Amino acid sequence: AFTGAGATVAVIGRSAERSEAAAEEIGGGAVGIAGDMTVKADAERAISETVERLGRIDALVNSVGGGIVDRMSPAEDFPEEDWRYVMALNLDSALFPSQAAARAMIAAGRGGSILNVSSVRGELALRAGYTPYVASKGALNMLTKQHAVEWAPHGIRVNAISPTFVRTA
Of residues 91, 95, 83, the one with CA closest to residue 150: 95
Q: What φ, ψ does residue 76 adopt, rounded to 5°?
A: -70, -15
Residue 133 annotated among the catalytic residues of the structure:
yes
Query: Cα angle at 101 between 97 and 103, to 5 degrees?
Result: 120
Of residues 10, 56, 73, the one with CA closest to residue 37: 10
What DSSP character marks residue 33? E
Q: Which residue in 133, 138, 144, 156 is the catalytic one?
A: 133
Active site residues: 133
